[in-house]
Chain A
Amino acid sequence: MNEKATAIVLRTVEFSETSLVVTLFTREFGKIGALAKGGRRLKGPFESALDLLALCRIVFLRKSSDALDLLTEAKLLRRFRPPGRELLSLYAGYYVAELLGELTDDDDPHPKLFDLANETLGALAAGEPVPRRVLRFELGGLRLLGHLPSLDTCVQCGTRVEAAGRVAFGQLDGGVLCTRCRHGMKQVVSVSAGALRTMTQLADLESQTWHRIEIHPRTLAETRSVLNHYFTNLLGRKPRMHQYLLQR
């Protein structure tokens, strides 16, 4: 059956002389794998649209079995082009692709996550500050996928935890811990109330106030550290792009 969708290219792998196997994150169908016959040719139905992080409008043939779908057309809507000579925006774009690829399942649509990823890539290409945009995508994405750590109630007993001073955060448990529950827990770190508030604001997808919040460099570093550990636990390995983003 022929389907149409808007898609972000997450991965391309050369297949035979002129074809590509592509992983696409579509707004309508979630993540799909498809064969693009002739996808490496300059001329043809793909017009060189199948480049990493490109936004395209695609037509594809769904396969009923486990086989790859067949991509029959791709029209480029926007190529991802990081601004100037700065590699950080490029690596942040790669990180968006890595998280979409790792945290979503095939054929499981998340239109709001697609919109967030699309908005993030557009903002990175426009030269917006990378650390803040990356945090917004990470936390917004975690919320949309149901993985957001508990930031105001104890992840063990459900008691409300006041964001004051420093609060225990269980990396393995996935959220804050009250004073009673924190004892005996493994991989518990102490997080400032400021970092928790920042994470809460950045994860709030209904509000646009996150644009205006001031993030102190120390709070940013602390939030970054918490999320680095959190994603490592969630994925079962360190995300590949962390080392590239942290070098800069």
Chain B
Amino acid sequence: MPELTQSVTDLIDEFAKLPGIGKKSAERLAYHVLRVHRSEALLLADAIRNVKENVRYCSVCYNLAEEEKCEICRDPRREQDVLCVVEQPRDLMALEQSGTYRGLYHVLLGRIAPLEGIGAEQLTIEALVERVRRREFKEVIMATNPTVEGDGTALHISNLLSEFPVRITRLARGITTGSVLEFANKEVLADALAGRQEF
């Protein structure tokens, strides 16, 4: 039975390691790389190399950055006295895409998940507390995921920050705009009632 060359097999194996990519998809991607122009294929290789060599965590907020500080931390136009705490850089990106938040961020790089062996010391919580201690933030917004572990992480952090004169808030939760009450589950309705606002 004819076999592929070692280089092609290696490429397929590497693609197959990517999340959501099975053997068949890996083969398709490898054949695509073989088919396209050399310069285009090498652009992909260069992009991967650049990401691995140049991208690091921001020394202040732990967002992804190509310099010591990320773009947000370097931007003097951002509100310097509001801090939003998120679990991952992708959560930060989601909030940025909303276009309504103009403050600073702190990325935890995970959430406290004792059952997975992830404790507070493995996250950037110590750096966050130090940041709040050193700087005068008016408000810290907890934007961890609204899950048991996300809420637990937010609670742990808010307990640590309670000694500082800072307002601690969390993202609102409740009914999705455009939906109907009839089909909202009881937990969502309870949240919406508990967090109701002045009209």
Which A residues are within 8 Å of any B CB, using their own CB? 11, 16-17, 42, 47, 51-54, 75-76, 79-82, 85, 87, 90-91, 93-94, 97-98, 101, 240-241, 244
Contact = CB atoms under 8 A, between A and B. Distances in A.
30 contacts: A11-B115, A16-B19, A17-B19, A17-B20, A42-B176, A47-B185, A51-B147, A52-B115, A52-B147, A52-B148, A52-B149, A53-B148, A54-B148, A79-B148, A81-B148, A81-B151, A85-B155, A85-B158, A85-B159, A87-B155, A87-B156, A87-B159, A90-B148, A90-B152, A91-B114, A94-B114, A101-B115, A240-B114, A240-B117, A244-B114
Contacts of B147: 51-52
Contact of B155 (A79, A90, A97, A101): A90
A31 B57 CA distance: 40
Contacts of A97: 115
B182 interface: no
Contact of B148 (A16, A80, A240): A80
Interface of B: 19-20, 114-115, 117, 147-149, 151-152, 155-156, 158-159, 176, 185, 187
Contacts of A244: 114
B18 to A, nearest CB: 11
A81 B149 CA distance: 11
Contacts of A94: 114-115
Contacts of B159: 85, 87
Closest 9 pairs (CB-CB, A-B): A52-B148, A16-B20, A90-B152, A51-B147, A79-B187, A51-B148, A244-B114, A94-B115, A94-B114
Which residue, B19, B20, B114, B159, has most C-beta atoms of chain A within 10 A?
B114
Which residue, B20, B148, B152, B159, has most C-beta atoms of chain A within 10 A?
B148
Contacts of A82: 152
A97 B147 CA distance: 15
* A interface majority secondary structure: loop
A16 B18 CA distance: 10
B155 A98 contact: no
A115 B115 CA distance: 22
A98 B148 contact: no
Contacts of B152: 82, 87, 90
Contact of A241 (B115, B151, B155, B158): B115
B78 to A, nearest CB: 29
Contacts of B148: 51-54, 79-81, 90, 93
Contacts of A90: 148, 152, 155
A240 B176 CA distance: 37
A17 B19 CA distance: 8
A88 to B, nearest CB: 11
B155 to A, nearest CB: 6
A24 to B, nearest CB: 14
